[in-house]
């Protein structure tokens, strides 16, 4: 039985949203996507919000949304940069189990190829995107209760692995 929420963290393309939905289906717990909440809360698609207000304002709103989530047990899928703020990392660790969905740069670069909806990687080279990941990696590891490498797992396999690790 899930007593606290499960937070899925990881870089863009690691599978947080897809695995979160599969985990919700398998466990019966509700799934909350912080990016979806952001768009409902602000009424603006994230890529447009970035263009209008910038990353700093986005990060502040993202924190507001994280801190306002219900405290009933849920599967929470987060944006890839949610770990950039110390306040968010602390909240995640105190509020539930944090699963870092790690993915090799080769795999996430392939998954992200041609994606124009993510403002932080728009017009960036593969090297620049990989450098962003490397800078975030210590923060993901610091925040995680445990890590699952999703590079070679299907969505279903990743969800099953989480269920098994957490005895759900």
CA dihedral 29, 30, 33, 37 (to 10 degrees): -160
Distance of CA 72 to the CA centre of its chain: 19
Helix (H) / strand (E) element for 36: namely: helix 34-42
User: What local confidence, expressed as pLDDT, does residue 120 receive?
Assistant: 72
| pLDDT < 50: residue spans in the chain | none
Q: What is the pTM (predicted TM-score) of this model?
A: 0.93
pLDDT of amino acid 2:
62
Report all structural domains of the chain as residue ranges with CATH numbers, in order of start.
5-166 (3.40.50.300)
Pairing of strands 5-9, 146-149: unpaired
Q: How many CB atoms lie within 10 A of CB 116?
A: 9
CA dist., res. 28 & res. 17, Å (int): 16
Which structure tokens are listed for 59? Answer: 């990060």
pLDDT at 70: 87
Output the pLDDT for position 14: 92
- CB neighbours of residue 164 within 10 Å: 9
53 sits in the region (left: phi over 0; alpha: psi -120 to 50; else beta) called alpha
Give residue 1's pLDDT: 56
């Amino acid at each position: 039985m899930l007593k606290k929420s499960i937070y899925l963290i990881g870089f863009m393309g690691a599978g947080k949203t897809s695995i979160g939905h599969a985990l919700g289906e398998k466990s019966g717990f509700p799934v909350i996507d912080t990016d979806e909440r952001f768009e409902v809360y602000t009424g603006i698609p994230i890529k447009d919000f970035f263009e209008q207000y910038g990353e700093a304002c986005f990060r502040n709103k993202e924190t507001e949304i994280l801190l306002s989530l219900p405290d009933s047990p849920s599967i929470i899928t987060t944006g890839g940069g949610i770990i950039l703020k110390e306040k968010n990392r602390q909240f995640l660790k105190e509020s539930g189990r944090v699963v870092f969905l790690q993915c090799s740069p080769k795999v996430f670069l392939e998954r992200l190829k041609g994606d124009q909806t993510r403002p932080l990687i728009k017009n960036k080279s593969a090297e620049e995107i990989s450098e962003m990941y490397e800078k975030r990696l210590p923060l993901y590891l610091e925040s995680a209760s445990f890590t699952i490498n999703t590079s070679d797992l299907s969505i279903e396999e990743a969800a099953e692995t989480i269920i098994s690790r957490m005895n759900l």
